Structure 1
């Protein structure tokens, strides 16, 4: 292991031991100081972001990815506001749940505790630096951040502001650390820092997440890949379906809760695609469709099998016409990444069947997939959208960044030796 990561790991462990015992008031004061520092450093942050944007354009990044990377005064203010909102959320640390008295007269409870040291590997969006740092901090976790090279200058400027806030409140600055060396070899080392990191959370595209899942020896919470579907049922309100489609595909196409697949019941395909296709065309969306779709939309490109498994993160949409509800379900089950799936229908039984049939982190009836977001769910913010089933699923807020320990209160009880002792 490099000396750089060794030192960072040691410092993170030491600071985590301090942070987990800090009071809510102390943590909130530090968060307020971090929010204020972000606003004070706005000019430096935006100047650094311009450097990243210039390099990204030279690298040929798409317009959608450039939009994810770009910061402005409003987005810096939003980062600061998000941190302020986190101060208003209940602190999960120390909360005791499920307290009961055992047959031995012991009071036994489960107490929320921090995970410890969290490593976060992410791409493109520099606001993740502030969001992830603040959520980890409030939940009592030290964090080691590793952003993408395309946002290196922006991430450093944001991190320096956060450090300034920590320093102002005498909180160990090592509670929030950033790997500033873009060497990819350090990522491999980070994935195997079992002595120092308790959990890894990747945020980014499919290739990044799969690399982390396959190479990490540290436990991983898989997040982010969103091959999200919208199914327009034969009983759908087609005007509503068009609004939901345009919002889900066009609003911010480069985020994980954007729509990537459209499935249309053949009974309404001709009517719906005529209107929806024209709307998508106005926004510059490329449609990749099956044979029935291409017959209805002459400008559509024939879809390949791979297109239905692709998270485009751009103004591209895969479209399929199906014979019935069951065919739609089978298509989603085959291609879904377990993020967010949507049905538009006015049939109650069909809606309830969809909720039961679809196994994803978020399942919607008559609403946009763009709502899959920690802030929109009332969590204040999120560290990511977990698409796995263990520990956490869906938007990961403060509680999802904790574990628990059992606390046992007695008055001198000892375990008897009569009978079987299954603890050995």
Structure 2
């Protein structure tokens, strides 16, 4: 384990100073190689899917098919076309005969611990390399066959682009390795857990390394008394049904009591036709075709409920009242707050970031979908004429 981490740390010293043309070449080569190896990737993925029922929510999170692999490749090309996040002058000042520049630099070596979703493997590698960071990946055992093939393809692309092969490393599935990884502050600069509440809590409680929490979403949508009933029902249906196994899917619907009967008469048949099960549990990320509904007396009660149960991921209001929309947007504490929009848009690709390493639900060092700029920090560069103090 230490040998692997040491090699990654050494590779980071090289990568941080490589020109963007090389980093972009890696992304374009990887995009080409993913498409070229579709059959190999799908074959490995089938091994991971073995034994999962057709209706198991895990299946959707785990599955790779040609369309998803091509989408992964397309996102790499989009990231390659983005401006270099490194070397940006964020601030410059002349003070006390000092010329000071605040310049963007990589975070360093990033450790990412994640569950299911093997597409995360290529997304994370792409975003890290573009932003000059090396990465240590620890995916779930349920996706190990897929991840192993993907990392082999990633390493080939690194070599072809003239970058160190150790910029990306995949750890095995032994849980002991996670414990060791979380103590490796000598080599890893930040850890990003991406998964359910159990994973995030475990990392937070055991890590000696700074962490950025991502992933867990307890998502609400409040339907106000002044609203277009039909349009609101469509938005709620989309937020719950379009892809229920992901973190930006709707978990709890809050409905103003004045429109309860009319709105639910429009909505419930749609949900029933999609197999949605209604329950009375609040504060839970369902990741399935389950959701809860609560009738509230107004905006204040809705906001209070969200404050009590939210994971501060994505929250939405559906309303025709501009003042209610403004108040909701200002008072709700979440990474993304929506007005008359499905929460399913909380996604790096949808936000024009080319992808995301995760959706941060904390306030330091980044919040919301994390793209290449969120994977940088800064340093001060200071120049003077042999100045002393």
Structures share fold, TM-score greater than 0.5 = yes
Give distance in 2, aligned partners of 1:105 and 1:97. Answer: 20
Tell me what 1:7 maps to. 3
1:136 to 106, 125, 128: 128
Give distance in 2, aligned partners of 1:18 and 1:225. Answer: 34
Tell me what 2:297 maps to. 323
Q: CA separation of 1:338/1:36 partners in 2, compared to 1, >3 Å: closer, same or farther?
A: same
1:216 corresponds to 2:207: yes
Which digits, 9 at most, give the CA deviation of each residue in 1:2-44, with x for residues without a partner?
xxx2011101110000000000101111111111111121111
Tell me what 2:87 maps to. 94
Tell me what 1:299 maps to. none
Give distance in 2, aligned partners of 1:61 and 1:188. Answer: 33
Q: CA RMSD in A?
A: 1.0
Give distance in 2, aligned partners of 1:61 and 1:206. Answer: 25
1:53 to 23, 42, 49: 49
1:96-245 equivalence runs, <5 A: 96-102=89-95, 104-179=96-171, 181-245=172-236
Tell me what 2:354 maps to. 380
Give distance in 2, aligned partners of 1:32 and 1:324. Answer: 51
Compute the displacement of 1:92 (Å). Answer: 1.0
Which digits, 9 at most, give the CA deviation of each residue in 1:280-326, with x for residues without a partner?
000000001xxxxxxxxxxxxxx2xxx20110000001110011211
Give distance in 2, aligned partners of 1:403 and 1:364. Answer: 28
Give distance in 2, aligned partners of 1:116 and 1:345. Answer: 44
Q: Which moved more, 1:141-150 or 1:404-413?
A: 404-413
Taking structure 2 as the reference length, the TM-score comes to 0.98
1:23 corresponds to 2:19: yes
Q: Structure 2: which 5+ runs fail to align?
A: none
Which digits, 9 at most, give the CA deviation of each residue in 1:176-195, with x for residues without a partner?
1111x211111111111111
Compute the displacement of 1:170 (Å). Answer: 2.5
3-state SS, counterpart of residue 173 of structure 2: coil
1:389 corresponds to 2:363: yes
Asked if the contact 1:385–1:396 (Cα under 8 Å) also holds between the matched residues in 2, the reply is: yes
The runs of at least 4 consecutive aligned structure 1 residues that moved more than 6 Å come to none
Give distance in 2, aligned partners of 1:410 and 1:159. Answer: 45
1:362-373 equivalence runs, <5 A: 362-373=336-347
1:67 to 60, 64, 80: 60
Q: Structure 1: which 5+ runs fail to align?
A: 289-302, 416-424
Asked if the contact 1:36–1:165 (Cα under 8 Å) also holds between the matched residues in 2, the reply is: no
3-state SS, counterpart of residue 50 of structure 2: helix
Give distance in 2, aligned partners of 1:151 and 1:49. Answer: 7
3-state SS, counterpart of residue 236 of structure 1: coil
Asked if the contact 1:69–1:124 (Cα under 8 Å) also holds between the matched residues in 2, the reply is: yes
1:79 corresponds to 2:72: yes
Asked if the contact 1:35–1:165 (Cα under 8 Å) also holds between the matched residues in 2, the reply is: no
3-state SS, counterpart of residue 97 of structure 2: coil
1:407 corresponds to 2:366: no
3-state SS, counterpart of residue 85 of structure 1: helix
